[in-house]
Amino acid sequence: MDADTLEELSERLDAQAALLEIMGGETIDVDLHRETAVALREALVEIRRLRSDVNLYIQKCNALEVTLAEIEHLRTDAPALAQELAMIEPLKSDVDLRGGEVGRRRSKWILRLRKSLQFGQGTI
């Protein structure tokens, strides 16, 4: 049932309760209409809260799917990165012997590559 329909029904029940009261209807009928209207309004509040929670849940699920796809992509790239690291390792020692800024930049790059390999292989 649509929330607008419930809201309209709640308003009609309030109106009927007012009419019954004006017409001198029984107190039980008036109270029953008012209590039903209040219960419907409370239900509407809960429905809207649950819809909001569902939307948030859907957004989180979508973000997790993207993250899982990225992790899978990193895992499939891990063997190629390991080969590249093996090829770079001898060059690293040559650059380190020369020293300077190039050696420091390469060392940082190799550390990042190793971390990404560990993550891709599930060791982190």
Listed in sequence order, the residues at least 6 apart from 32 whose beta carbon sits closer than 8 Å to its beta carbon are none
The token pair that represents 99 in the structure block: 């020293």
- Which residue range is the domain that position 16 belongs to? 3-120
User: What pLDDT digit, counting tens, does each position of 9-66 carry?
Assistant: 888 888 888 888 788 767 777 788 788 888 888 988 998 888 888 989 999 999 999 9
CB 10 within 8 A of CB 37: yes
Report how far residue 15's alpha carbon sits from residue 33's, in angstroms, rounded to the nearest whole number: 9
For the chain, the domain total comes to 1
**Three-state SS string across 91-105, please?**
HHHHHHHHCHHHHHH
User: What pLDDT digit, counting tens, does each position of 73-118 carry?
Assistant: 888 888 888 888 888 777 766 655 555 555 566 677 777 887 777 7
- pTM of whole model > 0.75? no
